[in-house]
């Protein structure tokens, strides 16, 4: 108990220390930190789970399995990204309705998000089941990687609808300033996922050794468990946000507002995902070891990037509630103060992981640890850009202004990352696009890949920060509203 109390006190003192250094406003920094911390813990656990997946299959099978999981996960990430977009619309609408003291319509907004989630998730699950192998085959010609990636994709996509609902419920609770309950749910389900993965990947006890399929089944079962727990909590009526089974079921005004806020974010997620496919293709041309090293580096650095996810959620809640109560000056202050404390937190965590890059890379059992270390360190250089980009996006999302993050994603992914990345291809390597054969590579190799990654992050940061600094998001928030009662 003494250790727990010491850790708790140390965490609570973090915003105060930053305030004494003149980096943040103590009151607003503390509010942002208190909201962000449970999301950081939840996100950190989720990333640790993904790291455990890659680490276990790397030990059990090798670099080919790591590459297969990375490719399979990219298609799953399309659905995951759409769930984030839909849940972002949810947190924006719920936080504004809570700020306006309209709890009943906030609850109704959660229902609309659930129905919308079924419309999005079920077709994606069906397509992935039928076309898993061709989808993976687009990205690599290694038959073993294609086989393993398809197995992972088919199984993990079975739980996509459950994942959608979990994200919606968690973001709805966050929109009402409750970020602890989602943390407690994840503290239950994520360790379950790790245990299931270990048992099924390696075939411990009476269970068969399933390898990559075991990693997928562990994730699918844990997603289903989380969804059931969240549903039970919201149906119970004991939380600020509820899911009443009776009463109105459809409100087109709320649906439109959720879609209005979430659509640009959905577009942004799709742009990110589709932009990542040709990037992964370039990595695949450079070799499976490079693809596996990128997968390791990205998974490890996602752990360092977790603070930005937490502060992004905090910014959405604080800005959204201030906007909902008509306090635009407070909303502006919360946006900037959350960005400051996010950046300070992010740099500290990133520095620790970069310093420990080599032993972390070695743990994955990769035959190419030097490559993985390089990717980890390059992602470390991009940490500040990601932190600013993500937190500013959260502030804009809270106000319902989600178009500019979409623009930033387009510029970063398609005008910076991809054009620079293709220069890494060997000189003379030919690709056919729309019937036209081109040879875009200059043989620059990994330096071009590294520059593409860093440039992408910082361009997004510049776009989102400039938009928030302009103050034009206030007009978007005033014009949006959150629908009118009876608009069904």
Q: Which of 310, 270, 459 is nearest to 382 (CA)?
A: 459
Rg (CA), the chain: 22
| DSSP H stretches of helix in 157-249 | 160-175, 180-202, 212-235
- CA of residue 449 relative to chain centroid, distance: 22
pLDDT of residue 486: 36
Ramachandran assignment for 116, one of left (phi > 0), alpha (psi -120 to 50 degrees), beta (any other): alpha
Question: Phi, psi at residue 446, to the nearest 5°?
Answer: -60, -35
pLDDT of residue 10: 64
- Report how far residue 29's alpha carbon sits from residue 37's, in angstroms, rounded to the nearest whole number: 12
- Report how far residue 387's alpha carbon sits from residue 137's, in angstroms, rounded to the nearest whole number: 34
Q: Which residue has the tokens 């500019």?
A: 404
pLDDT of residue 483: 39
Q: Which residues of the chain have pLDDT under 50?
A: 1, 482-488
- Report how far residue 440's alpha carbon sits from residue 418's, in angstroms, rounded to the nearest whole number: 11
pLDDT of residue 484: 35
- Report how far residue 488's alpha carbon sits from residue 394's, in angstroms, rounded to the nearest whole number: 29
The answer to whether 233 and 169 are in contact (CB under 8 A) is: yes
Total Cβ atoms within 10 A of residue 355 = 12
């Amino acid at each position: 108990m003494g250790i727990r109390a010491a850790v708790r006190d140390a965490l609570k003192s973090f915003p105060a220390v930053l305030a004494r250094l003149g980096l943040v406003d103590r009151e607003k920094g503390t509010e942002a930190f208190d909201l962000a911390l449970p999301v950081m813990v939840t996100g950190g656990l989720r990333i640790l789970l993904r790291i455990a997946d890659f680490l276990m299959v790397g030990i059990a099978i090798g670099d080919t399995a790591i590459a297969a999981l990375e490719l399979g996960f990219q298609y799953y990430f399309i659905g995951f990204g759409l769930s984030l977009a839909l849940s972002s619309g949810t947190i924006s609408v719920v936080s504004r309705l809570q700020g306006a003291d309209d709890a009943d319509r906030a609850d109704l907004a959660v229902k609309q998000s659930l129905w919308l989630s079924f419309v999005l998730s079920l077709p994606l699950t069906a397509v992935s089941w039928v076309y898993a192998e061709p989808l993976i085959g687009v990205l690599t010609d290694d038959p073993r990687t294609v086989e393993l990636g398809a197995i992972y994709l088919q199984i993990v996509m079975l739980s996509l609808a459950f994942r959608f609902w979990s994200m919606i419920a968690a973001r709805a609770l966050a929109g009402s300033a409750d970020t602890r309950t989602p943390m407690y749910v994840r503290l239950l389900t994520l360790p379950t996922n790790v245990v299931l993965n270990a048992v099924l990947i390696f075939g411990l006890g009476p269970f068969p050794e399933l390898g990559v399929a075991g990693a997928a089944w562990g994730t699918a079962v844990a997603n289903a468990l989380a969804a059931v727990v969240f549903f039970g909590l919201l149906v119970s009526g004991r939380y600020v946000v509820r899911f009443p089974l009776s009463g109105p079921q459809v409100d087109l005004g709320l649906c439109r507002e959720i879609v209005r806020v979430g659509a640009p974010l959905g577009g942004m997620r799709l742009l990110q995902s589709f932009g990542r496919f040709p990037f992964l293709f370039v990595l695949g041309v450079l070799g499976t070891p490079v693809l596996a090293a990128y997968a390791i580096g990205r998974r490890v650095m996602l752990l360092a990037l977790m603070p930005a996810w937490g502060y992004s959620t905090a910014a959405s809640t604080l800005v959204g509630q201030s906007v909902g109560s008509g306090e635009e000056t407070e909303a502006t202050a919360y946006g900037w103060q959350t960005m400051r404390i996010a950046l300070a937190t992010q740099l500290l965590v990133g520095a620790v992981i970069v310093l420990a890059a080599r032993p972390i890379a070695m743990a994955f059992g990769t035959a190419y640890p030097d490559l993985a270390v390089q990717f980890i360190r390059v992602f470390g250089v991009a940490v500040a850009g990601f932190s600013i980009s993500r937190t500013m996006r959260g502030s804009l999302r809270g106000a319902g202004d989600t178009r500019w993050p979409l623009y930033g994603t387009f510029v970063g992914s398609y005008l910076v990352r991809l054009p620079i990345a293709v220069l890494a291809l060997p000189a003379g390597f030919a690709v056919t696009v729309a019937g036209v054969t081109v040879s875009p590579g200059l043989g620059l190799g990994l330096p071009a890949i590294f520059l593409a990654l860093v440039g992408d992050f910082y361009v997004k940061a510049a776009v989102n920060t400039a938009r928030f600094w302009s103050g034009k998001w206030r007009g978007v928030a005033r014009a949006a509203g959150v629908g009118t009662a009876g608009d069904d």
